[in-house]
Protein backbone atom coordinates (compact mmCIF):
# COMPACT_ATOMS: atom_id res chain seq x y z
CA UNK A 1 0.00 0.00 0.00
CA UNK A 2 1.44 3.34 -1.02
CA UNK A 3 2.00 6.02 1.58
CA UNK A 4 -0.42 8.43 -0.09
CA UNK A 5 -3.25 5.94 0.41
CA UNK A 6 -3.03 6.28 4.18
CA UNK A 7 -4.58 9.30 5.85
CA UNK A 8 -3.24 8.81 9.36
CA UNK A 9 0.33 7.76 10.03
CA UNK A 10 2.81 8.05 12.84
CA UNK A 11 6.56 7.92 12.61
CA UNK A 12 6.63 4.64 14.52
CA UNK A 13 3.84 2.82 12.70
CA UNK A 14 5.00 -0.17 10.72
CA UNK A 15 3.56 -3.07 8.82
CA UNK A 16 3.57 -6.56 10.25
CA UNK A 17 2.13 -9.34 8.06
CA UNK A 18 0.27 -6.72 6.04
CA UNK A 19 -1.28 -5.09 9.10
CA UNK A 20 -0.49 -1.58 10.25
CA UNK A 21 0.80 -1.70 13.83
CA UNK A 22 0.23 1.41 15.97
CA UNK A 23 3.07 2.62 18.18
CA UNK A 24 3.09 1.66 21.83
CA UNK A 25 0.92 3.87 24.01
CA UNK A 26 -1.20 5.28 21.18
CA UNK A 27 -4.30 3.29 22.15
CA UNK A 28 -4.11 4.38 25.76
CA UNK A 29 -3.86 8.04 24.80
CA UNK A 30 -6.67 7.68 22.25
CA UNK A 31 -9.08 5.96 24.65
CA UNK A 32 -8.25 8.39 27.46
CA UNK A 33 -8.83 11.34 25.12
CA UNK A 34 -12.21 9.95 24.07
CA UNK A 35 -13.18 9.31 27.68
CA UNK A 36 -12.20 12.83 28.68
CA UNK A 37 -14.16 14.25 25.76
CA UNK A 38 -17.26 12.21 26.66
CA UNK A 39 -17.05 13.27 30.31
CA UNK A 40 -16.65 16.91 29.28
CA UNK A 41 -19.74 16.70 27.09
CA UNK A 42 -21.94 15.06 29.71
CA UNK A 43 -20.48 17.14 32.53
CA UNK A 44 -21.36 20.34 30.70
CA UNK A 45 -25.02 19.44 31.09
CA UNK A 46 -24.74 19.57 34.87
CA UNK A 47 -22.75 22.74 35.46
CA UNK A 48 -26.08 24.50 35.98
CA UNK A 49 -27.86 23.83 39.25
CA UNK A 50 -31.60 23.61 38.85
CA UNK A 51 -34.59 21.93 40.43
CA UNK A 52 -36.41 21.97 37.12
CA UNK A 53 -36.76 18.89 34.85
CA UNK A 54 -34.62 18.52 31.73
CA UNK A 55 -37.49 19.41 29.38
CA UNK A 56 -38.09 22.81 30.94
CA UNK A 57 -37.20 25.58 28.42
CA UNK A 58 -34.94 27.35 30.92
CA UNK A 59 -32.94 24.17 31.52
CA UNK A 60 -32.70 23.47 27.80
CA UNK A 61 -31.43 26.98 27.05
CA UNK A 62 -28.74 26.80 29.72
CA UNK A 63 -27.63 23.39 28.51
CA UNK A 64 -27.49 24.69 24.95
CA UNK A 65 -24.92 27.22 26.12
CA UNK A 66 -22.64 24.75 27.90
CA UNK A 67 -22.86 21.95 25.36
CA UNK A 68 -22.22 24.29 22.43
CA UNK A 69 -19.12 25.60 24.19
CA UNK A 70 -17.78 22.08 24.77
CA UNK A 71 -18.62 21.05 21.21
CA UNK A 72 -16.96 24.15 19.83
CA UNK A 73 -13.81 23.32 21.78
CA UNK A 74 -13.89 19.60 20.94
CA UNK A 75 -11.66 19.93 17.83
CA UNK A 76 -8.93 21.06 20.23
CA UNK A 77 -8.99 17.56 21.72
CA UNK A 78 -8.20 16.10 18.30
CA UNK A 79 -5.51 18.70 17.68
CA UNK A 80 -3.93 18.08 21.10
CA UNK A 81 -4.10 14.32 20.57
CA UNK A 82 -2.42 14.68 17.19
CA UNK A 83 0.33 16.89 18.60
CA UNK A 84 0.92 14.66 21.63
CA UNK A 85 1.01 11.36 19.73
CA UNK A 86 2.89 12.64 16.69
CA UNK A 87 0.27 11.32 14.29
CA UNK A 88 0.68 12.89 10.86
CA UNK A 89 -2.56 13.53 8.99
CA UNK A 90 -2.69 13.97 5.24
CA UNK A 91 -6.01 15.88 5.28
CA UNK A 92 -6.53 19.02 7.31
CA UNK A 93 -7.99 18.81 10.80
CA UNK A 94 -11.44 19.89 9.58
CA UNK A 95 -11.41 17.40 6.70
CA UNK A 96 -10.34 14.68 9.11
CA UNK A 97 -13.44 15.52 11.15
CA UNK A 98 -15.69 15.25 8.11
CA UNK A 99 -16.09 18.98 7.51
CA UNK A 100 -15.34 19.38 3.81
CA UNK A 101 -17.04 20.34 0.54
CA UNK A 102 -15.92 17.48 -1.69
CA UNK A 103 -18.80 15.04 -2.16
CA UNK A 104 -21.09 17.18 0.00
CA UNK A 105 -24.31 16.71 -2.00
CA UNK A 106 -24.17 12.88 -1.98
CA UNK A 107 -23.26 13.06 1.72
CA UNK A 108 -26.46 15.03 2.38
CA UNK A 109 -28.76 12.85 0.28
CA UNK A 110 -27.61 9.22 0.28
CA UNK A 111 -27.14 8.42 4.01
CA UNK A 112 -30.45 10.08 4.87
CA UNK A 113 -32.20 8.21 2.06
CA UNK A 114 -30.66 4.96 3.28
CA UNK A 115 -31.95 5.62 6.80
CA UNK A 116 -35.42 6.42 5.47
CA UNK A 117 -35.38 3.09 3.63
CA UNK A 118 -34.67 1.35 6.94
CA UNK A 119 -37.66 3.19 8.44
CA UNK A 120 -39.94 2.27 5.55
CA UNK A 121 -42.30 0.42 7.91
CA UNK A 122 -42.68 3.25 10.45
CA UNK A 123 -43.01 5.77 7.60
CA UNK A 124 -45.76 3.68 6.01
CA UNK A 125 -47.48 3.38 9.38
CA UNK A 126 -47.18 7.13 9.93
CA UNK A 127 -48.61 7.87 6.47
CA UNK A 128 -51.58 5.58 7.04
CA UNK A 129 -52.41 7.09 10.42
CA UNK A 130 -51.83 10.72 9.45
CA UNK A 131 -55.07 12.71 8.98
CA UNK A 132 -53.38 14.98 6.43
CA UNK A 133 -53.34 14.33 2.73
CA UNK A 134 -50.06 14.22 0.83
CA UNK A 135 -50.58 17.73 -0.53
CA UNK A 136 -51.37 19.03 2.96
CA UNK A 137 -48.03 17.65 4.11
CA UNK A 138 -46.21 19.33 1.23
CA UNK A 139 -47.84 22.67 2.02
CA UNK A 140 -46.88 22.40 5.68
CA UNK A 141 -43.30 21.47 4.79
CA UNK A 142 -42.94 24.67 2.75
CA UNK A 143 -44.79 26.88 5.21
CA UNK A 144 -42.29 29.29 6.86
CA UNK A 145 -44.62 29.75 9.84
CA UNK A 146 -44.41 26.03 10.55
CA UNK A 147 -40.61 26.19 10.69
CA UNK A 148 -40.70 29.34 12.82
CA UNK A 149 -42.90 27.47 15.27
CA UNK A 150 -40.49 24.53 15.28
CA UNK A 151 -37.43 26.68 15.90
CA UNK A 152 -39.19 28.49 18.72
CA UNK A 153 -39.83 25.15 20.46
CA UNK A 154 -36.84 24.42 22.71
CA UNK A 155 -37.50 20.68 22.83
CA UNK A 156 -37.71 20.45 19.03
CA UNK A 157 -34.57 22.52 18.67
CA UNK A 158 -32.74 20.27 21.12
CA UNK A 159 -33.88 16.98 19.59
CA UNK A 160 -33.64 17.89 15.91
CA UNK A 161 -30.76 20.35 15.74
CA UNK A 162 -28.51 20.82 18.76
CA UNK A 163 -28.30 17.22 20.01
CA UNK A 164 -27.65 15.66 16.56
CA UNK A 165 -25.08 18.30 15.63
CA UNK A 166 -23.13 18.35 18.89
CA UNK A 167 -23.29 14.62 19.59
CA UNK A 168 -22.14 13.65 16.10
CA UNK A 169 -19.40 16.26 16.23
CA UNK A 170 -18.10 15.04 19.57
CA UNK A 171 -18.78 11.30 19.46
CA UNK A 172 -18.10 10.65 15.79
CA UNK A 173 -16.13 13.46 14.14
CA UNK A 174 -13.73 13.90 17.07
CA UNK A 175 -13.49 10.40 18.51
CA UNK A 176 -13.19 8.30 15.36
CA UNK A 177 -10.06 10.06 14.06
CA UNK A 178 -8.44 9.28 17.41
CA UNK A 179 -9.61 5.66 17.58
CA UNK A 180 -9.02 4.49 14.00
CA UNK A 181 -5.18 4.68 14.06
CA UNK A 182 -5.20 2.84 17.37
CA UNK A 183 -7.43 -0.03 16.31
CA UNK A 184 -8.94 -0.20 12.83
CA UNK A 185 -12.04 1.28 11.19
CA UNK A 186 -14.10 -1.84 11.92
CA UNK A 187 -13.08 -2.00 15.57
CA UNK A 188 -13.53 1.75 15.97
CA UNK A 189 -17.08 1.50 14.61
CA UNK A 190 -18.02 -0.79 17.49
CA UNK A 191 -15.86 0.90 20.13
CA UNK A 192 -16.88 4.51 19.60
CA UNK A 193 -20.62 3.88 20.31
CA UNK A 194 -19.74 2.60 23.78
CA UNK A 195 -18.76 6.13 24.79
CA UNK A 196 -21.97 7.37 23.17
CA UNK A 197 -24.15 4.79 24.91
CA UNK A 198 -22.60 5.30 28.34
CA UNK A 199 -22.97 9.07 27.92
CA UNK A 200 -26.74 8.60 27.76
CA UNK A 201 -26.80 6.96 31.18
CA UNK A 202 -26.96 10.43 32.69
CA UNK A 203 -30.70 10.35 31.99
CA UNK A 204 -30.97 7.82 34.82
CA UNK A 205 -29.84 10.49 37.27
CA UNK A 206 -32.73 12.75 36.33
CA UNK A 207 -35.27 9.94 36.29
CA UNK A 208 -34.23 8.96 39.81
CA UNK A 209 -34.04 12.56 40.94
CA UNK A 210 -37.58 13.36 39.86
CA UNK A 211 -38.85 9.85 40.67
CA UNK A 212 -40.17 9.27 37.18
CA UNK A 213 -40.81 5.55 37.53
CA UNK A 214 -39.78 2.61 39.65
CA UNK A 215 -36.14 1.69 40.20
CA UNK A 216 -36.42 -1.48 38.11
CA UNK A 217 -38.28 0.37 35.37
CA UNK A 218 -35.65 3.10 35.24
CA UNK A 219 -32.87 0.50 35.12
CA UNK A 220 -34.52 -1.41 32.26
CA UNK A 221 -35.09 1.85 30.42
CA UNK A 222 -31.41 2.73 30.83
CA UNK A 223 -30.29 -0.67 29.52
CA UNK A 224 -32.60 -0.37 26.53
CA UNK A 225 -31.45 3.17 25.79
CA UNK A 226 -27.80 2.14 26.04
CA UNK A 227 -28.38 -0.75 23.63
CA UNK A 228 -30.33 1.36 21.16
CA UNK A 229 -27.90 4.28 21.22
CA UNK A 230 -24.92 1.93 20.90
CA UNK A 231 -26.39 0.27 17.80
CA UNK A 232 -27.34 3.63 16.34
CA UNK A 233 -23.88 4.99 17.16
CA UNK A 234 -22.27 2.09 15.30
CA UNK A 235 -24.43 2.88 12.28
CA UNK A 236 -23.53 6.58 12.18
CA UNK A 237 -19.87 5.71 12.81
CA UNK A 238 -20.05 3.39 9.81
CA UNK A 239 -21.51 6.20 7.71
CA UNK A 240 -18.86 8.64 8.91
CA UNK A 241 -15.97 6.33 8.06
CA UNK A 242 -17.40 5.27 4.71
CA UNK A 243 -18.33 8.77 3.55
CA UNK A 244 -15.77 10.90 5.37
CA UNK A 245 -18.49 13.48 6.05
CA UNK A 246 -20.11 14.74 9.24
CA UNK A 247 -23.32 15.98 7.63
CA UNK A 248 -24.69 12.50 6.87
CA UNK A 249 -24.57 11.25 10.48
CA UNK A 250 -26.06 14.55 11.70
CA UNK A 251 -29.05 14.32 9.35
CA UNK A 252 -29.59 10.63 10.11
CA UNK A 253 -29.43 11.39 13.83
CA UNK A 254 -32.00 14.15 13.50
CA UNK A 255 -34.30 11.93 11.44
CA UNK A 256 -34.07 9.05 13.93
CA UNK A 257 -34.77 11.42 16.82
CA UNK A 258 -37.91 12.52 15.01
CA UNK A 259 -39.06 8.98 14.23
CA UNK A 260 -38.16 7.44 17.58
CA UNK A 261 -37.90 3.70 18.11
CA UNK A 262 -40.19 1.79 15.71
CA UNK A 263 -43.56 1.06 17.33
CA UNK A 264 -43.57 -2.61 16.43
CA UNK A 265 -46.22 -3.51 19.02
CA UNK A 266 -48.56 -0.92 17.50
CA UNK A 267 -47.83 -2.27 14.04
CA UNK A 268 -48.88 -5.74 15.20
CA UNK A 269 -52.30 -4.35 16.11
CA UNK A 270 -52.69 -2.05 13.11
CA UNK A 271 -55.86 -2.46 10.98
CA UNK A 272 -53.60 -2.89 7.94
CA UNK A 273 -51.18 -5.11 9.79
CA UNK A 274 -50.06 -7.17 6.80
CA UNK A 275 -49.19 -4.08 4.76
CA UNK A 276 -47.38 -2.38 7.63
CA UNK A 277 -45.40 -5.45 8.68
CA UNK A 278 -44.51 -6.16 5.06
CA UNK A 279 -43.17 -2.60 4.84
CA UNK A 280 -41.06 -3.21 7.94
CA UNK A 281 -39.57 -6.35 6.41
CA UNK A 282 -39.07 -4.76 2.99
CA UNK A 283 -37.35 -1.77 4.58
CA UNK A 284 -34.83 -3.98 6.38
CA UNK A 285 -34.13 -6.02 3.24
CA UNK A 286 -33.64 -2.93 1.07
CA UNK A 287 -31.49 -1.31 3.76
CA UNK A 288 -29.13 -4.28 3.83
CA UNK A 289 -29.07 -4.39 0.04
CA UNK A 290 -28.21 -0.68 -0.34
CA UNK A 291 -25.99 -0.33 2.75
CA UNK A 292 -22.67 -0.59 0.94
CA UNK A 293 -23.68 0.84 -2.48
CA UNK A 294 -25.13 4.01 -0.91
CA UNK A 295 -22.03 4.51 1.23
CA UNK A 296 -19.52 3.75 -1.52
CA UNK A 297 -16.59 6.13 -0.86
CA UNK A 298 -16.32 6.88 -4.58
CA UNK A 299 -19.44 9.05 -4.26
CA UNK A 300 -17.86 11.21 -1.60
CA UNK A 301 -14.43 11.99 -2.98
CA UNK A 302 -11.46 9.66 -2.72
CA UNK A 303 -9.56 9.12 -0.58
CA UNK A 304 -11.88 9.62 2.36
CA UNK A 305 -10.11 11.34 5.28
CA UNK A 306 -10.06 8.31 7.58
CA UNK A 307 -7.76 5.41 6.68
CA UNK A 308 -10.23 2.71 5.75
CA UNK A 309 -7.43 0.59 4.33
CA UNK A 310 -6.15 -0.32 7.80
CA UNK A 311 -8.97 -2.82 8.00
CA UNK A 312 -11.14 -2.52 4.89
CA UNK A 313 -14.88 -2.20 5.38
CA UNK A 314 -15.82 -3.25 1.91
CA UNK A 315 -18.96 -4.65 0.43
CA UNK A 316 -18.85 -7.48 -2.04
Contact 237, 193 (CB under 8 A): yes
The C-alpha atoms of residue 101 and residue 251 are separated, in whole angstroms, by 16
Collect all residues with Cβ–Cβ distance below 8 Å to 170 and sequence separation of at least 6: 37, 38, 41, 70, 71, 74
The catalytic residues are 167, 200
Amino acid sequence: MAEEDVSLLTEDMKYSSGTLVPPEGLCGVSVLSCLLLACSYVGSLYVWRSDLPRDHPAVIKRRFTSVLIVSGLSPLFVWAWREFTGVRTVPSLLALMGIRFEGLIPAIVLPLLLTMVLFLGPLMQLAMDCPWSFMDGIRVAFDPWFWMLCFSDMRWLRNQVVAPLTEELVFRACMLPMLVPCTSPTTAIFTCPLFFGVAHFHHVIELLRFRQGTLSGIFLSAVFQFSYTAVFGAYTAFIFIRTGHLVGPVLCHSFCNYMGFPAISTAMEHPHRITVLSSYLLGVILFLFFLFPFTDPSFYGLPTPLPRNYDPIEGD
